[in-house]
Structures are given as structure tokens and as C-alpha cells.
């Protein structure tokens, strides 16, 4: 992850903190996490969240670059994957909306340490598969979306994703895994939103050609397994 991306992520935390302070003050969102009673405490926890995301990405990226290449399997698109159109605007769900929901889930935490541990376990679990059973899709299939003309802002967002999201190790989809993991946290407070969010993320993975159906199903199962462990243990 580049310094510029880290800077943008942390600057975004300032905007998030202002918005979430207003939402909490006007009781428009649920805030279960204790001691979030000031702008500075909200900014601090959002900054910690960003640092954990950056650290988590390194656990995710390392096996992508250092896997057992001789065991690589190329997953072939199904007829459904080929039928699904490439739509660049779904990058707005794939990335910005994803991190907004991440912050919303953070406010729903009763035990930050336990959830951080289970998120780490899920990253370690996925890293095992990425390292020992690497799988990816054909490069030409993933790149077909790049030829579609779109507005400059969406194009810039897509380039940010491409700059960090390797074409290797697509299975299981960690986007879907974390979407389900977060939904398990928010479900008691936002049941309808919690069901819709992983569905939207899964669609964004397919419409942006970042994943195949074969990546999404294991990702959902992985997220549900660790999400259930997090809320029950």
C-alpha cells in the first residue's frame, strides 16, 4: 500500500468522524461501543480502524505475492460469469460503501478486542488458502471492464483498486468474507441493511469483474464461519 493511499485513508477518517459525530448526536445510528462521547474519541477509534485495515491488507497481500506458484489453479468463468455485464460504477460499492459499512459495524461492537482477534483469525485462515492453494481467474476476463468508458471519478476509483488489488489469489473472495463478517455484527441493530450489504458487495465483485461466482461462495462461507464465532464465543 502506497503512502498516498495511507494518507487518503486517514484523511477520510476526519470526514468520517465529523459525519459519525453528527449521526450519533442525533441518534440516527446505533452506538454500542462505550466512551464514544466526543469527536476526538470517534476520530481515534476510526484512525485505529484504518491502521488495522492497513495492517490486515499486508497479511492479505503477502501470500498473494509469495504463494506456492507451482500449485496455481486458474478458475474458468462459468456461463453466468460471462453473462454478467461489466459495470464500472459498481466500484463505488466495492470500495467506498464497503468502508462506510465497516465504520458502522465498528459502532456496534461491544467487545473491540474479541472482534479484532476473530478478524485476524479470518485473515490467517484466508492466507492459508492463498498460500497453499492459490487460484486466480484468466487475466483477459478480469481486464475486460477496463475498456468500458466511464466518468473520470469512477475511473480514478477503479485505478486505485487496481493499484492495490492483485490479480492473483481471487478465491476465496475476502470482500465477501468481510462483508458477511461485518453483517453478523450489525444484524441485531440493522437486520435489513445487514442482509442487503453482503448481497450488494457480492454483486459489486461480479459486475466489476474482480471475482467469479466460484470465489464468492467460499468467501461467504468463510465470513459466516468467523462471524458466527465472533458473536457466539
CA atoms within 13 A on the CB side of 38: 3
- pLDDT tens, 100-116? 888 889 888 888 888 88
Work out whether the CA dihedral 32, 173, 48, 160 comes out positive or negative: negative
Task: Check whether 171 has a pLDDT greater than 70.
Answer: yes
- pLDDT tens, 24-70? 888 888 888 877 778 888 888 877 777 777 777 777 777 777 777 66
- pTM > 0.75: yes or no: yes
Cα(131)–Cα(135) distance, integer angstroms: 9
Contacts of residue 177, Cβ cutoff 8 Å, sequence gap at least 6: 122, 126, 219, 220, 222, 223, 226
Among residues 175, 165, 126, which one has the least CA distance to residue 145?
A: 165
Class of residue 171 by CB neighbours under 10 A (exposed 0-12, middle 13-18, buried 19+): buried
H/E element, 74: strand 73-74
Look-up of cell digits 445510528:
29
What are phi and psi for residue 136, nearest 5 degrees? -150, 175
Q: Tell me the C-alpha to C-alpha distance, in Å, between residue 223 and each of 120, 148, 193, 198.
A: 12, 31, 17, 10
Cα(44)–Cα(34) distance, integer angstroms: 13
Give the mean model confidence (pLDDT) for residues 148-177: 79
Contacts of residue 69, Cβ cutoff 8 Å, sequence gap at least 6: 134
Q: Are 178 and 105 in contact (CB under 8 A)?
A: no
**pLDDT at residue 2, as a whole number:** 62
C-alpha cell at 118: 476473530
Residue with more model confidence, 135 or 201: 201
Chain centre distance of CA 4: 19
Band (pLDDT 50/70/90 cuts) for residue 188 is very high
Band (pLDDT 50/70/90 cuts) for residue 3 is low
Residue with more model confidence, 189 or 49: 189
Among residues 101, 69, 116, which one has the least CA distance to residue 175?
A: 101
**pLDDT at residue 4, as a whole number:** 67
Cα(4)–Cα(108) distance, integer angstroms: 30
Task: Check whether 157 has a pLDDT greater than 90.
Answer: no
Task: Check whether 186 has a pLDDT greater than 90.
Answer: yes
DSSP 95: I
Amino acid at each position: 500500500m502506497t503512502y498516498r493511499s495511507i494518507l487518503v485513508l486517514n484523511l477520510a477518517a476526519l470526514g468520517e468522524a465529523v459525519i459519525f459525530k453528527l449521526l450519533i448526536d442525533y441518534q440516527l445510528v446505533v452506538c454500542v461501543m462505550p466512551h464514544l462521547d466526543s469527536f476526538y474519541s470517534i476520530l481515534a477509534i476510526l484512525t485505529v480502524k484504518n491502521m488495522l485495515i492497513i495492517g490486515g491488507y499486508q497479511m492479505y497481500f503477502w501470500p498473494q505475492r509469495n504463494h506456492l506458484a507451482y500449485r496455481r489453479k486458474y478458475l474458468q468463468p462459468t456461463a453466468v460469469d460471462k453473462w454478467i455485464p461489466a459495470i464500472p460504477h459498481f466500484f463505488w460499492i466495492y470500495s467506498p460503501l464497503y468502508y462506510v459499512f465497516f465504520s458502522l459495524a465498528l459502532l456496534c461492537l461491544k467487545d473491540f478486542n474479541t472482534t479484532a482477534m476473530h478478524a485476524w483469525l479470518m485473515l490467517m485462515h484466508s492466507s492459508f488458502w492463498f498460500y497453499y492453494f492459490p487460484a486466480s481467474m484468466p487475466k483477459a476476463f478480469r481486464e475486460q471492464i477496463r475498456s468500458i468508458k466511464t466518468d473520470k471519478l469512477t475511473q480514478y476509483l477503479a485505478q486505485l483498486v487496481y493499484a492495490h488489488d492483485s490479480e492473483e489469489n481471487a478465491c476465496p473472495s475476502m470482500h465477501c468474507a468481510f462483508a458477511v463478517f461485518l453483517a453478523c455484527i450489525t444484524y441485531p441493530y440493522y437486520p435489513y441493511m445487514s442482509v442487503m450489504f453482503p448481497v450488494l458487495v457480492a454483486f459489486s465483485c461480479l459486475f466489476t469483474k474482480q471475482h467469479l461466482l466460484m470465489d464468492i461462495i467460499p468467501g461467504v462461507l468463510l465470513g459466516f464461519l468467523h462471524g458466527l464465532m465472533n458473536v457466539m464465543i
